[in-house]
Amino acid sequence: MTIILKIQGLRKGAKQIRQAAAILRGGGIVVFPTETVYGIGADALNPDACRRIYSIKGRAGDNPLIVHVSSMEMAETVARIPERYFGTMRRIWPAPLTIIVKAKPIVPKVVTGGLDTIAIRMPDSEVALSLIRESGVPIAAPSANISSKPSSTRASHAIKYFYGKVDAIMDSGRSKFGLESTVIDLKKFTILRPGSYTVDQVQKAFGKRPKVTSQSRAISDSRSRPSSPGMKYRHYSPEKPIFLFTGDPRALPAASESFRGEFTFIGSRESCRAMRGTAKNSIALGSRRDPGRMASMLFDALIALDGMESRFAIIEQFKEEGIGLAMMNRIRKACAHKYFSDERGLSRRVREIS
Ligand code: TXA
Ligand code: MG
C-alpha cells in the first residue's frame, strides 16, 4: 500500500515528515520532493532497501544512486571530500550540485553500482532536509521515474509511476528547478551531467571553469566510454516520437507545413504562437525571456505529451547557455537523436516511425 503524505507549510508537515522518516528507517521506500525533481529514496546504508529502488524503477544495476545528506558531517560518514574542496562545498550546499568523490567502505556496493566513488549532494529543499535529518541516515535517491521516462516534477507524476509500488509519496507541489542536479567529477573537474547548477555558477564557486564534454551535452559520440554510467541508457523518452528541429526557428512553420494538424509542438510561448495553425496542438513552456521557467516545465511537457492527441511531436532547440545546457541535454535524449532541419528531413523522420 502507498500512503500519500501531503505537505502544506513545513510546520504542518512535521507529522508527515516523522511518518516518512520512520518508513525509511524501517527499510521502506519513500518518494520525496527536492528542489530539482522528486526522488525515490531509501536508507543509503540498507542494501536491501536500495536494491528495491532498482527493481521498482527497472534500473540497471551498474547505474549508481545519488546519496542525499543534510550536513557536512553526514557527508563525511559516506564520502571522502578532498580537503581543498571542503570549504567550497560547505559554502555551496545545499544546492543542486552533486559531486563524485571517493566512497567510504561503509557504503553498500549496490548504492555505488560497484564503483569506488560515490555521488553525493545536499538538496536545497526544507522538506528534503528535514526528512534526512529526521531519518538520521543518508538517503539514496535517484529521480522518481520509471527508467527511460521523464523525471517527476510533481507528486502526481510519481503517483502515476509508482502508486502501489512504494510505501509513501510525499507531495509538496511543483519542483522549483524541474531539472536534475548538475553532476561534477571533482577529481577530473568535469561535468558528467549538466543540471540545475549552471557551469557559470560552478566557475564562480570554485574559481575555475569545469570541463564540459560533448558527451555530457548528449551529442552522440559512440567511440568514447561513458564516464557516468547513467549516460549510456535511454532517457526522458515519452511514448510518442519526438523530433528536434535544428534549423532556423523562423523556418519551422514552413518545414512542418506538410504535416499540418498532425503533431504536437513543444516550445516557448512565442514559438507556440508562430506554430498556431500548423501544429494540431501545442505545449508552451513559458516565455523565451524566462529560461528558468521554460526549463522547469520541460519534464511536465514531456509527460503531458503522451496524453495529447497527435501522431508525433516537434520540439524546438534552445541556446546552450545557462540552464539551456541542461535543457538541451534532456531534449536530445528525449528525442533519441531524431533531428531534422527542413521539410524533407521531417518527411524522412515521419516515414521512419510509420
Ligand atoms: O537532482 C537530482 O540529482 C535528482 C534528485 C532526486 O536529487 N536525482 C537524480 O538521480 O537525478 P539519478 O539517479 O536519476 O541520476 C544520478 C546520475 C546518474 O546519471 C548516475 O549514473 C550518476 O548520477 N552517478 C551516480 N553515481 C556515480 C558515480 N559514482 N560516478 C559517476 N556517475 C555517477
Ligand atoms: Mg534519473
Ligand 1: which atom is nearest the Cα of residue 180? 1
Is 248 found in the same domain as 191? no
3-state secondary structure of 118: strand
Packing angle of the helix pair 83-92, 199-206 (nearest 10 deg): 120
What is the 348 CA–ligand 1 centroid distance (Å)? 35
The CATH number linked to 143 is 3.90.870.10
Q: Among 50, 62, 143, which residue has the most ligand 1 atoms within 8 Å of its CB, making it the best to mutate?
A: 143
Q: Are 184 and 177 in contact (CB under 8 A)?
A: no
SS3 324: helix
Instruction: With respect to residue 229, please indicate whether it lies within any of the assigned structural domains.
Output: no
Place of cell 514531456: 302
CATH number, residue 334: 3.40.50.11030
CA nearest ligand 1 atom 27, residue:
119
Domain contains 108? yes
Pair 262, 210 in one domain: no
Ligand nearest to the CA of 228: 1
Tell me which residues have their CB closer than 6 angstroms to ligand 1. Answer: 34, 36-37, 39, 63-66, 96, 98, 100, 112, 115, 117-119, 123, 141-143, 180-181, 183, 192-193, 228-230
Assigned domain for 228 exists: no
State the pairing for strand pair 242-245/339-340.
Answer: parallel
Phi, psi of 341 (to 5 degrees): -130, -5
| 232 belongs to a structural domain | no
Q: Is residue 236 part of a domain?
A: no
Q: What is the mean pLDDT of each run of 10 residues along the chain (354 residues)?
A: 90 88 98 98 98 97 97 98 98 98 98 97 97 98 97 98 98 97 98 97 98 83 65 80 94 97 98 97 98 98 96 97 97 93 96 90
175 and 138 within one domain: yes
pLDDT, position 10 = 67
Closest-approaching ligand to the CA atom of 161: 2
Same domain membership, residue 158 and residue 20: yes
- Are 209 and 265 found together in one domain? no
Which numbered atom of ligand 1 lies nearest the CA of 193? 19
pLDDT at 156: 98
Q: Are residues 316 and 179 in the same domain?
A: no
Residues 208 and 257 in one domain: no
- Ligand at shortest distance from the CA of 195: 1
Domain boundary (216, 231, 251) is at 216
Do 17 and 155 lie in one domain? The reply is yes
How far, in Å, from the CA of 100 to the mean position of ligand 1? 9
203-206 own/partner pairs: CB under 8 Å, 24+ apart: 205/88, 205/91, 205/92, 206/85, 206/88
**36: in domain:** yes
Which of the 8 DSSP states describes residue 309?
S
Let me know if residue 139 belongs to a domain: yes
Position 221 scores a pLDDT of: 52
- Domain end: 172, 200, 216, which one? 216
Number of domains in the chain: 2
| Domain assignment present for 302 | yes
Q: Where are the alpha helices (DSSP H) in the chain?
A: 10-25, 47-57, 72-78, 83-92, 109-112, 126-135, 155-162, 199-206, 252-255, 269-275, 291-305, 324-334, 343-353
| Cis? peptide before 94, omega within 30° of 0 | yes
Backbone angles phi, psi at 140, to 5 degrees: -80, 125
Q: Are 328 and 210 part of one and the same domain?
A: no
Question: Which residue is associated with the grid cell 577530473?
Answer: 188
User: Comparing C-alpha atoms, which of 168, 207, 210, 161 is closest to residue 325?
Assistant: 210
Looking at residue 31, what is its pLDDT? 98
Question: Which triple of cell numbers denotes residue 220?
Answer: 552522440
Nearest CA to ligand 1 atom 19: 230
Structure-block grid coordinates of residue 98: 552533486
Phi and psi of 337, rounded to 5°? 65, 25
- Supply the residue whose CA is at minimum distance from atom 7 of ligand 1: 39
328 shares a domain with 185: no
Cα(340) to ligand 1 centroid in Å equals: 30
Q: Give the closest ligand to the alpha carbon of residue 180.
A: 1
Residue 273 Cα to ligand 2 middle (Å): 32
The preferred substitution site among 36, 182, 228, 333 for testing ligand 1, maximizing ligand atoms within 8 Å of CB, is 228
Q: Do 247 and 328 share a domain, yes or no? A: yes
**The predicted structure's pLDDT at residue 173:** 96
State which residues form the domain around 46: 3-216
116, 249: one domain:
no
Residues 6+ apart with CB under 8 A from 5: 13, 16, 19, 20, 168, 169, 170, 171
User: What is the 218 CA–ligand 2 centroid distance (Å)?
Assistant: 14
